[in-house]
Amino acid sequence: MRVRVSHDAASIAVGGLAVAQALREAEAQVLRVGSRGLFWLEPLIEIETPIGWQAFGPVAAAEVPSILDSVRNSARHALALGNIEEHPFLMQQTRLTFARCGSIDPVSVEDYAKTGGLEGLKRAIEIGPEKIREEIAASGLRGRGGAGFPAAIKWNSAALTAGAQKYVVCNADEGDSGTYADRMLMEGDPFLLIEGMVIAGIAIGATKGYVYIRSEYPHAIAAMRRAVDVGRENGLLGKAVLGSAYAFDLEIRMGAGSYVCGEETALLDSLEGKRGQVRAKPPLPVHVGLFGKPTIINNVLTFAAAPTILAKGGAFYQSFGLGRSRGTMPIQLAGDIKYGGLFETAFGPTLGKLVNDIGGGTRSGRP
């Protein structure tokens, strides 16, 4: 019997490892996956049955035997959720970036490729740097780190700046209260981030990238390091990306716990081995960045949008959202809310809809 178990930090924090061990002791085949983002149901497990994957949650280790018995005997269990993909919380979402999270082995290139991974990179290799940047511009993608700066302007500026060495840097120093989308993606679908950074490298003429991850994310750091190693072994990274003429490699760097290093120029100082301090601008990092070289800095979600844009076209991505805000945005519901979790949606829903309708209002029921 095959069972998916979330190894996301949110699941581990509420007993996910004990549940996985109980399943192994019951001779079930445990499949490591990321989180679906329904945190109030963690630890969440999905069991393969003749009628498809059936979910149960929140599961305690002591409940594993009764759950397995119910599946074997085709009986109803109190924690049964049915096909989790038909859960209202997921059915109302538009998942582009987080589509795979919770359903694949995060560090399996085979799983990633079978679910549409690498298609964006393959197309990027075919069309070349200039066309890549045109697709990013057509998509209307803006930085997901908070400032909302158009990604295409940043990428074009770095591409047009002369330099024998350029860099791609991912700001994964996610430090604001209640945020976890970057962590969830790195733990659940790290190859999406890697693919997006390789695409960015080709687009601007960079051959080296760094992912700067906050030290408080040990599981994300471990997942990213393993994914980078697997990526090198399978030709996703290295001197000939997917057998092409493009070279690109990545390093994972752990932050030292300083909040200020979430600011892009302070982050660059930290990468250079200095104390993180905000630099005066200009010059901008796209002109004088890491080690004085042209550098683009985007956050996890910005890079993670690039594979979808390249695979399906800028017009496809631009069709979601409204006004100057195109594509989708993962809303992170956390705190005193009934249904805490990640809700990816096209730009447009009101705060009231997200908190009251999607999140179920406050956990206490009070305004």
* 47 within a domain of the structure (yes/no): yes
* 103 within a domain of the structure (yes/no): no
Residue 367, pLDDT score:
77
**Residue 113: is its pLDDT beyond 80?**
yes
Return the CATH number at 28.
3.40.30.10
Buried b (16+ CB within 10 A) or exposed e, 115-127: eebbebbebbbee
Distance CA 353, CA 198 (A): 36
Residue 228, pLDDT score:
99
* 359 within a domain of the structure (yes/no): no
Same-domain check for residues 74 and 205: no
Same-domain check for residues 302 and 183: yes
**Residue 181: is its pLDDT beyond 90?**
yes
Task: Please list the alpha-helical segments (H only) found in 73-108.
Answer: 88-91
* 356 within a domain of the structure (yes/no): no
Distance CA 163, CA 326 (A): 31
Same-domain check for residues 132 and 279: yes
Same-domain check for residues 79 and 114: no
CA angle 107, 262, 338 (to 5 degrees): 70
Calculate the dihedral angle through the C-alpha atoms of 285, 288, 292, 297, rounding to the nearest 10 degrees: 20
Give the whole-number percent of the chain exceeding pLDDT 90. Answer: 94
pLDDT tens-place string over residues 209-258: 999 999 999 999 999 999 999 999 999 999 999 999 999 999 999 998 88
* 305 within a domain of the structure (yes/no): yes
Same-domain check for residues 173 and 310: yes
Number of domains in the chain: 2
| Cα dist from 344 to 94, 160, 309, 323, 361, whole Å | 6, 34, 16, 18, 18
Greater confidence (39 vs 147) lies with 39
Residue 315 is part of which domain span?
109-322
**Residue 146: is its pLDDT beyond 80?**
no
Structure tokens at 308: 């979808």
**Residue type, position 290, single letter:** L
* 124 within a domain of the structure (yes/no): yes
Residue 145, pLDDT score:
80
pLDDT tens-place string over residues 49-95: 999 999 999 999 999 999 999 999 999 999 999 999 999 999 999 99
* 220 within a domain of the structure (yes/no): yes
Distance CA 187, CA 184 (A): 5
* 152 within a domain of the structure (yes/no): yes
Return the CATH number at 180.
3.40.50.11540
Residue 256, pLDDT score:
83
What's the mean pLDDT when you consider all of the chain?
Answer: 96
Distance CA 215, CA 223 (A): 13
Helix/strand/coil for 149: coil
Same-domain check for residues 86 and 126: no
CA 249 to centroid of chain Cα atoms:
19
Residue 364, pLDDT score:
85
pLDDT tens-place string over residues 324-351: 999 999 999 999 999 999 999 999 999 9
